[in-house]
Amino acid sequence: MGPAKDAAETVRAIVRHTAEGPGVDVPVIHLNGTGAETLVDSLCEAIEAVRFAQDKLRACNPNGRDYYPDPGRMPRAEALHVRRSHVLNELAAALEGDVEAIMGNFRWEPSTG
């Protein structure tokens, strides 16, 4: 398995893990644990990174000029591109769901400054 295939499989595993819905494995906010604001900030940074990856993936959308010599390659490339986009969309949605669950289960008062 190559690095791209390994990464895609890892993302799929994360998505499957959170597919039951947001909040299933959301951290419990308490005095001995990581603060809600820190958790939300980290998740938001992860969401930004996924959005960045989505932008980069859109930039490498399959182009028919790159696949025309071999019939059937363009539809396969398009299908792969759609699957990759779907994985990133699911990951972003799962992370956003965790943020919403954390904020919904905690009296949210972000610090100022």
Q: pLDDT, tens digit, for every residue of 25-79? A: 778 788 888 888 999 999 999 999 999 999 999 999 999 999 988 889 999 999 9
61 found inside a domain:
yes
Structure tokens of 6?
């390994």
4 found inside a domain:
no
Q: What is the DSSP letter of 106?
A: S
pTM above 0.85, yes or no: no
Into how many domains does the chain fold?
1
CA angle 84-86-89, nearest 5°?
115
User: To which H or E segment does residue 89 belong?
Assistant: helix 73-104
17 found inside a domain:
no
Enclosing domain of residue 93? 41-108
Residue with tokens 């951290």, as numbered in its chain: 27
Angle between helices 73-104 and 36-59 (to 10 degrees): 160
